[in-house]
Structure 1
Amino acid sequence: MRRAIFPGTFDPFTIGHYSVVERTLTFMDEIIIGIGKNENKKTFFPLNKRLEMIRELYKDDPRIKVEAYSELTVDFAIKHDAKFIVRGIRTVHDFEYEETIADINRKLSGVETILLFTEPELTSVSSTIVRELLHFGKDVSPFLPRNMKID
Structure 2
Amino acid sequence: MKAVCPGSFDPMTMGHLDIFERAAAQFEEVIVLVTANPHKNSGLFSVAERKGLIEESVAHLGNVRVDHWSGLLVDYTTAHKVTALVKGLRSSLDYEYELPMAQMNRRLSGVDTFFLLTDEKYGYVSSTLCKEVARFGGDISGLMPPHVVEAVRAKYAQR
TM-score under structure 1 length normalisation: 0.91
Q: Cα offset for 1:61?
A: 3.2
| Residue 18 of structure 1: aligned partner | 17
Q: Distance in 1 between matches of 2:149 and 2:91?
A: 28
1:108 maps to: 108
Q: Percent identity?
A: 35
Distance 2:77 2:135 in 1: 33
Using the alignment, how far apart are the partners of 1:120 and 1:74 within structure 2?
Answer: 30
1:139 match: 139
Q: 2:140–2:149: 8 Å Cα contact kept in structure 1?
A: no
2:73 maps to which residue?
A: 73
CA contact (8 A) 2:19 2:88 kept: yes
CA RMSD, 1 decimal = 1.6
* Aligned match of 2:31: 32
Q: How does 1:35-50 map to 2 (within 5 A)?
A: 35-42=34-41, 43-50=43-50
The aligned amino acid for 2:48 is N
Note the alpha carbon deviations across 1:81-130, whole angstroms, 9 max, x for none.
Answer: 11000000111111122111111111111100001111112111111111
Residues 53 and 149, structure 1, Cα contact 8 Å, conserved in 2: no
Aligned residues, how many?
Answer: 150
Structure 1's unaligned 5+ residue stretches are none
> CA separation of 1:59/1:26 partners in 2, compared to 1, >3 Å: closer, same or farther?
closer
Residues 53-87 of structure 1: CA distance to partner in whole angstroms, max 9, x if unpaired?
Answer: 11122234331111110011121111211100000
Structure 1 runs of 4+ off > 6 angstroms?
none
Q: Report the Cα distance in structure 1 between the residues aligned to 2:72 and 2:64, rounded to whole angstroms.
A: 20
